[in-house]
Amino acid sequence: MELQTELDSLDAQHMRRSLRSVEQNEGARLQVQGKPLLNFSSNNYLGLARHPQVVDAVRQVLDHWGAGTGSSRLISGTSVIHHDLEQALAAFMETEAALVFPSGYMANLGVVTALVGEGDAIIMDRLCHASLIDAARLSGARLFIYGHADLAEAERALKRTASYRRRLLVSDSLFSMDGDFAPLPELAALAQQAGAITILDEAHAIGIWGEHGRGARAMADQTSDWDVVVGTLSKALGSQGGFVCGSQALIDTLINKARSFIYTTGLSPTCVAAAHAALSLIQEDSVPRKRLHGLAHYLREGLRGLGFDTLDSESQIVPILLGSAEKALTCAAHLEGAGIYAPAIRPPTIHAGECRIRFSVTAEHTEKDIDQLVNALSRWRKS
Ligand code: PMP
């Protein structure tokens, strides 16, 4: 059958993907096929997914609201707890308003397609997340991709698109596969000069970077320079769901036009409660965030000391660039043999020839865990 031929061809190119069931997942450790492994692949950066106060908040809301909302947000799927979370997110992100979506992917789809369409232009970094690329394609606007963090190319694209009706300049703040930050002040200034709307995806930075974990735009003192900020509830916040922050007019536009908000069931009360509890914890306690920064630095230094190319990583996301899919798979298999879980990252997640292992450090790791990883990679280098 044709599908099987396609799968076989993926296999032959080392590009086939498959699911692996995790049997236990606690702290920085998980168990797969009966084998305990040290996990370097989680976005639960602060360990809040299992924090006792988060779990307790979910238990309480389950008793009162049950498991599901039973309706889309515009029908009867908006409860007071959705409203409270949206107010808390807007206050945290220092914007007028916020809107919660069932996932960060859907938040990106919703905001881009609500703002632009045919006759408009989107100017976007080459390494933006797949959800932003999909959003751009779905919108019908013309897409202009500039080289990664290449300000001169971004400026040229803004000039070339001067005659378009509306333009969006879109970037991740912290790039999910390279672990580096976008040049935020420079990008915002270019967009402002050109009169383009700015969208910043802070999925990997919220909770980790900036004062109180407000994200990279807060770190760069850029809170008011980005028109739209997208975040997720599913990484540092340890829950599930996504959100968009901005002006009240933006949020009202999304409620009226964002199809990935309108035509889907409202986010489960359990996700809402978990995210709200996690948001409070993030603001109360900076210790896990600081601990994470220290551990990430320790890992980057260890890997660079071994001579690995960690690209321009400056964050808790630390890749090692390996090139071919085969090499990345061999490295991942070696690590698994050494008790470490960190899958190979291959196209289409990244560009061809840029296969890598992407390590994500969490506050639940210890220096000893990082030593175990660095030692395993040192042995692989020598093998
Ligand atoms: N944006 C970025 C930069 C991401 O890395 C991700 C998730 N990998 C998303 C958006 C989507 O978020 P979610 O998992 O909540 O759908």
**Is the beta carbon of 103 within 6 A of some atom in ligand 1?**
yes
- Can you name the residues that pair with 296 across neighbouring β-strands? none
Residue 1 has pLDDT above 80, yes or no: no
CA of 201 to the centre of ligand 1 (A): 9
Which atom, in ligand 1's list, is nearest to the CA of 232?
Answer: 15
Instruction: Give the pLDDT band (50/70/90) at residue 114.
Output: very high
pTM for the full predicted model: 0.97
**Is the beta carbon of 202 within 6 A of some atom in ligand 1?**
no
**Is the beta carbon of 178 within 6 A of some atom in ligand 1?**
no
Which residues, 6+ apart, have CB-to-CB distance to 101 below 8 Å? 107, 110, 241, 242, 243, 244, 258, 260, 261, 267
Is 235 annotated in the active site? yes
Query: Looking at 204, 268, 276, 365, which residue is catalytic?
Result: 204
Is 276 annotated in the active site? no
CA–CA dist 120, 252 (Å, integer): 21
Give residue-wise pLDDT tens across range 184-200.
999 999 999 999 999 99
Residue 145 lies in a domain: yes
Do 100 and 121 fall within a single domain?
A: yes
Residue 142 has pLDDT above 80, yes or no: yes
CA of 229 to the centre of ligand 1 (A): 13
The closest of 306, 325, 309, 310 to 361, measured between CA atoms, is 310
- In eight-state DSSP terms, residue 361 is -
Residue 5 lies in a domain: no
Residue at which a domain ends, from 284, 314, 342: 284
Average pLDDT of span 264-293: 97
Residue at which a domain ends, from 239, 254, 284: 284
Do 81 and 206 fall within a single domain?
A: yes
Is 83 annotated in the active site? no
Residue 308 lies in a domain: yes
CA of 5 to the centre of ligand 1 (A): 31
**HSE (side-chain half, CA atoms, 13 Å) at 85:** 30
CA of 1 to the centre of ligand 1 (A): 34
Residue 7 lies in a domain: no
Q: Average model confidence (pLDDT) for the chain?
A: 97
- In eight-state DSSP terms, residue 319 is E
Count: domains in the chain: 2
CA of 233 to the centre of ligand 1 (A): 9
- Cα separations in angstroms, 363 against 217, 289, 356: 22, 7, 23
> What does the block give as tokens for 376?
């395993």
Residue 140 lies in a domain: yes
* CB-CB contact of 94 with 214 (8 Å): yes
Instruction: Give the pLDDT band (50/70/90) at residue 220.
Output: confident
User: Considering Cα of 104, then 79, then 236, then 151, what sign does the dihedral take?
Assistant: positive
* CB-CB contact of 339 with 36 (8 Å): yes
Which atom, in ligand 1's list, is nearest to the CA of 172?
Answer: 3
* CB-CB contact of 131 with 123 (8 Å): no
User: If 0-12 CB within 10 Å is exposed, 13-18 middle and 19+ buried, where does residue 49 land?
Assistant: buried
The CATH code of the domain that includes 226 is 3.40.640.10
* CB-CB contact of 114 with 253 (8 Å): yes
Residue 53 has pLDDT above 80, yes or no: yes
> What's the pLDDT score for residue 287?
96
Do 147 and 232 fall within a single domain?
A: yes
Which atom, in ligand 1's list, is nearest to the CA of 233?
Answer: 15
Do 187 and 293 fall within a single domain?
A: no
The CATH code of the domain that includes 329 is 3.90.1150.10
> What's the pLDDT score for residue 222?
80
**What percentage of residues in the chain have a pLDDT greater than 70?**
100
Residue with tokens 């599930």: 240
Residue 148 lies in a domain: yes
> What's the pLDDT score for residue 223?
83
Residue at which a domain ends, from 236, 267, 284: 284
Do 104 and 140 fall within a single domain?
A: yes
Do 31 and 73 fall within a single domain?
A: no
Q: What strands lie across the sheet with 344-345, from one edge to the other?
A: 317-323, 355-360, 344-345
Query: Looking at 42, 139, 176, 360, which residue is catalytic?
Result: 176
User: If 0-12 CB within 10 Å is exposed, 13-18 middle and 19+ buried, where does residue 308 land?
Assistant: buried
Do 277 and 140 fall within a single domain?
A: yes
CA–CA dist 180, 95 (Å, integer): 25
**Is the beta carbon of 242 within 6 A of some atom in ligand 1?**
yes
**Is the beta carbon of 175 within 6 A of some atom in ligand 1?**
no
CA of 382 to the centre of ligand 1 (A): 35
Residue 146 lies in a domain: yes
Do 233 and 291 fall within a single domain?
A: no
**Is the beta carbon of 239 within 6 A of some atom in ligand 1?**
no
**Is the beta carbon of 232 within 6 A of some atom in ligand 1?**
yes
Q: What is the extent of the structural domain holding 143?
A: 52-284
Instruction: Give the pLDDT band (50/70/90) at residue 351.
Output: very high
Do 351 and 256 fall within a single domain?
A: no
For residue 348, say if its preceding peptide bond is cis, omega within 30 degrees of 0: yes
Do 86 and 158 fall within a single domain?
A: yes
Query: Strand, helix or coil at 344?
Result: strand
Query: Strand, helix or coil at 102?
Result: coil
- Counting ligand 1 atoms within 8 A of each CB, the residue from 232, 239, 315, 345 with the most, and so the one to mutate, is 232
Do 336 and 192 fall within a single domain?
A: no
Do 223 and 330 fall within a single domain?
A: no
Residue 13 lies in a domain: no
